[in-house]
Amino acid sequence: MFETLTTEVKGAVGRLTLNRAEKLNPLSTQVLAELEAAAHWFDQQEGVKVVVVSGAGRAFSAGADLSTFQGPQGDVDTRGAADQGRKMAEAMEGMRAISIAAIQGWCVGGGLVLAAACDLRIAADDARFSIPEIDLGIPLAWGGIPRLVREIGPALTKELVITCRPFDAAEAKAAGFLNRLVPADELEGVVDELAQSIAAKASHAIFSTKRNVNAVTDQMVGTMRAWSDADGLVTALSDEECAEARRAYLKGRKG
């Protein structure tokens, strides 16, 4: 049904897996559109109570594939492409089922926004996190800022987004971004046990709890204001100083 991800339903538990392991599951505009569509697809599966979100292979996600967001100058689709991440995050967060992000390896930039849009996050103890957008000359978009503020607070959000420094799973857990850390070889089993435990509970009670918590936090951090993030992203992609920062960062990575 999808080209870049797989979906599966067994009983009350669904699974959504980013499936470009050879490239560490980057988030191109196609992947983002398919994630949005998959969230809506799961909403149509009436018996599904839980959806496990993961990445195939060695990483959860290497983050946004910037090459797919830069159309020719004046291309009317550029903003639409830049806005696809916001639409993905809102669809994932608005999904009826309880979503659990199972995080292994690297979780970078937009991949971290995807994880933040999930209800619960379980990570392998050797998982690593990074938000390199500013080093790439672009702001963190897709509603990433309010979601990070919601989970880890404003001061640490500013530090991690502005400095772009990598951080490990232990710091992510201490900051409140993760619900649980487990040994890497136990991640799949622990997530499955949690999913089955939630799936055994009454649908109305768990769905109502999710909606109530989301309603409260939406009022606190204003995720719905993220519609304007695409404008900041488009501006950064056409700004020469931002472009120079991006070239320097990518040159450093290759060097």
Predicted local confidence at residue 226, as pLDDT: 77
209 found inside a domain: no
Q: Between 78-94 and 229-238, two packed helices, what is the crossing angle to 10 degrees?
A: 140
119 found inside a domain: yes
Q: Which domain holds residue 13?
A: 5-185
Spell 7-22 as b/e; 16+ CB within 10 A means b: beeeebbbbbbbbbee
**pLDDT (tens digit per residue) in 106-129:** 999 999 999 999 999 999 999 999
Examine the pLDDT at 150 and tell me if it is beyond 50.
Answer: yes
Examine the pLDDT at 251 and tell me if it is beyond 90.
Answer: no
DSSP secondary structure code for residue 61 in this structure:
B
The 3-class secondary structure across 110-129, one letter per residue, is HHHHHHHCCCEEEEECCCEE
86 found inside a domain: yes
**pLDDT (tens digit per residue) in 19-68:** 999 999 999 999 999 999 999 999 999 999 999 999 999 999 999 987 77
Q: Are 18 and 5 in contact (CB under 8 A)?
A: yes
Contacts of 115 (CB under 8 A, 6+ apart): 53, 60, 101, 103, 107, 121
What is the rounded (10 degree) CA torsion for 62, 213, 94, 84?
-40
Examine the pLDDT at 156 and tell me if it is beyond 70.
Answer: yes
225 found inside a domain: no
251 found inside a domain: no
Percent of the chain's residues with pLDDT above 70: 96
Examine the pLDDT at 153 and tell me if it is beyond 80.
Answer: yes
User: Based on the structure, what is the number of domains in the chain?
Assistant: 1
In 10 A of CB 251, how many CB atoms?
A: 9
For the purposes of burial, counting CB atoms within 10 Å of the CB of 54, is it exposed (0-12), middle (13-18) or buried (19 or more)? buried
- Distance CA(22)–CA(25), nearest Å, equals 7
71 found inside a domain: yes
| CATH code, domain carrying 147 | 3.90.226.10
What residues does 188 pair with on adjacent strands?
none
233 found inside a domain: no
Examine the pLDDT at 238 and tell me if it is beyond 90.
Answer: no
- Residue type at 56 in one-letter notation: A
- Residue type at 190 in one-letter notation: V
Q: Which residue has the higher pLDDT, 236 or 115?
A: 115
**pLDDT (tens digit per residue) in 59-81:** 999 999 877 765 444 444 778 88
13 found inside a domain: yes
CA angle 128, 82, 3 (to 5 degrees): 70
What residues does 18 pair with on adjacent strands?
5, 55
Q: Tell me the residue ranges of DSSP E strands in 202-249.
A: none
Backbone angles phi and psi of 144, in degrees to 5: -65, -40
Predicted local confidence at residue 255, as pLDDT: 56
Predicted local confidence at residue 72, as pLDDT: 45
- Residue type at 171 in one-letter notation: E
What is each CA distance from 9 to 42, 54, 91, 100, in whole angstroms? Answer: 9, 14, 18, 14
What residues does 7 pair with on adjacent strands?
16
